[in-house]
Every structure is written in structure tokens, then in C-alpha cells.
Chain A
């Protein structure tokens, strides 16, 4: 009798979809043995809006604002991926001035995305201060977006063939002053977290995903780079003139959550380097290539992928020669990275699940689309 009383049974625990640490509406069904996680099952689709289907009923220009709403933390990167895919489809390349402006804005967006990740990740771990600081700095980036295109989050900054809006007066000065102001802020976050013993206890050795497993799951972005793989699409297949800029690909060694943190911090510094180079050498000239008002791409298909803040973001567009795309398939980095959650979580404690979901840097708008 006493024996059965002490027996431990498998406990099934629902985490989400309203749990604040799942960064949206992700539902994770945890199978627990005491405090240990023995298995997980992700339930997604709570934020499904059918964006890919919407594309089939819109013209190419009309669909551009919708892609901003997938990864709303990095809307500019989404827009860049989409316009590059359509430009490849119709055989148009944006003028150099537009390309430089695109690089500046996407890298600013990468910083904003990483800042938001850092703040929420630290909040999940239990450090509330970084959230206030990172959101304060992110605000400055959003102000640049607002000044440039009139919206802060769902920017719709780029158009097929170039840019709609000319850079405003004082853009270069504002971006440069942001860079100067922002570098000590990164050091400040590092002071708060990098050597903090609670932060290290919670992150070092948690959620290890080595390079082989990363490749097996198709995981990209900072998660892959923290496993020591020097893979960055900006270097591997340069787009939008990234080959002109000099920057490093930060890599980690231990493939754990702490290394992913370090990689993302370094990525912010490298983004600042790219922005500085791009602002210094922004060419004059037109901002819009010749694109017909009524866009009818030739029959064909195209796959274009870019390095979004969260990993490889790909757009596969099939055109049947009409006004609307026949099919738009998005390869969202968050969805693919989330597949690895089960392996990373197995054997960890319940509290580590929150840390691991945080380190994957997922956005549910992009997973469910």
C-alpha cells in the first residue's frame, strides 16, 4: 500500500496558450516525471490567419503589407525578403541607393528584434531590469522607422523595385548618432547579465543542440551559429549589396543557451558596423527601378531566402503569369527552429523549458502565419 502511494506517475501539464513565457499563443504539452521533462508536444495554429492563402487573392504589390504581419518584431526583414523574391521573379534589381537604405533599415530591425528578444528572454529568466532598458533603446529604432516610412511596427517600408519614400533629411545623422549612443548600451546589458551568476546558472549548459542536430532539423540563425557553424546567408549568398560590407559572423562553441545569448549580443555589434559602413557610403541616385504599375510576372517560380534576425527566411513564389501569385510559400525561421524544442527540452527541468523557448526566439505570428 505504501509502495503505490510513493509511486510517481507521468504528469501531463499544459503550458500555454495563454502562458506569458511562450511568447504568444504557443501551447506546449509537457510530460513530466516529477520536475523533469520527459517529452513535449507543441500545439500551434492559434494565430493562424491564412496569410499564404490571402496572397493568392491579392496582386503582388497588395500582398507586401501582409508579410509585415508575420514576424511583426522584424517586419522590415520580412518585407525585404518578399520584395527581393518578387524582384527576382520579374528580373528587376533595386538601384544602389535603395539597396543601401534597405541594408540600413534591415540591420536596424535586426537590432530591434534582438533587443526585444533580450528583454523578454531576461524577463523569463527573472531579470526584469533589462526589459525596460532594451525597450527604451528599441524605441529609438522605431522612431527612425516612423520618421522614414510613417509606421513603427508594421512598416511596409519597401516596395517592389526599390523604395517608395526618399530618405528624409537628417536620416544619416540620426542613424549615426543612434549607433554612437547605442554601443555603450550593449555594454550596459553585458554588465547586467554576462557575468551575473544567476544568469549563468540558468543558461550555461541548458538546451544544448549541437551542430549535427541543427543540420538535421534545419535550424538556422543564431541557434545554428551558437553551435559553431559559420553560416550566415548575408555572407553565403549575399543579397541587396551585403557583399560590400565588412563584418564578422559571430559563432559560439558550446551550443547552449548562454552561447546563443553571446552570439546575439555580438550580432548587434556587427549590425552596427554594417550600418556605419552603409551610412558612410550611401550612393546618390534614383530609389525606384522601372517596374510596371500593373505587375504581371512571367510564368515561373522563385525561391529567395534572406538572413532574418531569427534565421533563414525564405519566400517561394509561383507565378502563373496572371496578376496574382499562384502560390506563396513562406519558410519561417521560427517554425523550423521550434521543431528542435523537443530534443532540447528532454531531460531538462520545467523552469528550463521557459529558458529554452526564450532562446529559440520564436514569434507566433510567423509560426502560424
Chain B
């Protein structure tokens, strides 16, 4: 009898409807207004790569040790350098980072002994061309330039 009454009164469905009704409240809205409001990503976020420069003298921190290129599973980093005859050290000439093949695993960042290569919090990496995804030393050193879509 009770089961029949439950069946007629649709109690099980009303129970579910009550849940959806409770969640109607505007404070439960989770939508992000993305281009207008940029989401705050975590501090450790692995996004666009950057080649850090020494803020004091503007020289690159990179010592051309090639460890990042060796650590990279996709072999997408190419580092070239010349031996400086005065300081007997390697001077960085070019640094090419192919973001089109990068999977942002962070192994290059871990391998870097001087914290020169860093994966930053920028996540807007789209480009109109394939060539635009291959970043050279200048692009890497300038760092990400987040686009502002609204004034």
C-alpha cells in the first residue's frame, strides 16, 4: 500500500527535484567569464616556457649546459653555444624551443641547474602558423605577453 502510494506521489522523483532546486541558488554558479576574467592558475602551473635573464645586468642565466635538451622526452629544445676564449665558458648563441610538440611535463625545468629555463603561468599559446609555435631565444627571454581581450 505504501509502495503504491509512493509510486503515485512520485516521491523518488520529487526527492531528486529538490536537489536540483537547492542548487539553483546563484552562489552555486561556477561559470568562469574567461576572456573578461582571467582564471588564476596555480603558482606551480606548467605553461609557456621562459628563459630567465639576470635582472641586474640583463645577461642570460643560461650556461648552455644542454641538460634541458637531454632531459626532454620529445627532443624539442636545441641549444647552441660558442666557447668564450676569455672566460673559458660557453656563451649561449641560440635557444630554440618548439612549443608545438611540448607536453609541459616539466622535465627540462627540473633538469636546469641554474633556474634559467622556467615554465610560467601563461597558458595562451595559440598561433596562426606552425612556425609561430617555434620560439627562439628572443621570444623566450621576453617571456609571455598575456593578451588583454578587454579594455
Contact = CB atoms under 8 A, between A and B. Distances in A.
Contacts of B104: 151
B140 interface: no
Contacts of A196: 12-13, 15-16
A143 B41 CA distance: 9
Nearest to A64: B105
Given A129-B20, A192-B19, A196-B13, A154 B42 contact: no
B103 A154 contact: yes
Interface string B1-43: 0000001000011011011100100000010000000000111
Contact of A136 (B30, B41, B105): B30
Most B Cβ at <10 Å: residue of A136, A146, A151, A188: A151
A191 B16 contact: yes
A168 B18 CA distance: 39
A136 B43 CA distance: 22
A236 B23 CA distance: 41
Contact of A146 (B12, B15, B41): B41
A197 interface: yes
B44 A164 contact: no
Contact of B13 (A146, A150, A197): A197
Contact of A139 (B30, B41, B46, B71): B30
Nearest to A54: B73
B15 A147 contact: no
Contacts of B143: none
Q: Is the interface of A mostly helix, strand, loop or mixed?
A: helix
Contacts of B72: 62
Contact of A156 (B13, B30, B106): B106
B44 A195 contact: no
Interface residues of B, number: 26
A332 to B, nearest CB: 20
Given A164-B110, A188-B19, A195-B15, A147 B42 contact: yes
Contacts of A146: 41-42, 44-45
B119 interface: yes
A65 interface: yes
Contacts of A176: none
A149 interface: yes
A192 B46 contact: no
B114 interface: no
B107 interface: yes
A149 B119 CA distance: 12
Given A150-B119, A191-B15, A197-B12, A62 B73 contact: yes
Interface string A127-143: 00100010010010001
B44 A148 contact: yes
Contacts of A191: 15-16, 18-19
B98 to A, nearest CB: 16
A116 interface: no
Interface in A9-66: 58, 61-66
B14 to A, nearest CB: 11
Contacts of B103: 65, 69, 154
Given A65-B103, A136-B30, A146-B42, A192 B16 contact: yes
Interface of B: 7, 12-13, 15-16, 18-20, 23, 30, 41-46, 71-73, 103-107, 110, 119
16 contacts: A61-B71, A62-B107, A65-B107, A66-B73, A139-B30, A146-B45, A147-B42, A147-B43, A149-B106, A150-B42, A150-B119, A191-B16, A196-B13, A196-B16, A197-B7, A197-B12
Given A69-B103, A193-B16, 11 more contacts: A61-B107, A62-B107, A66-B73, A136-B30, A146-B42, A150-B46, A150-B106, A151-B45, A154-B105, A188-B19, A191-B19
CB-CB nearest 9 A-B residue pairs:
A65-B105, A150-B44, A62-B73, A150-B46, A146-B42, A195-B12, A147-B42, A192-B16, A156-B105
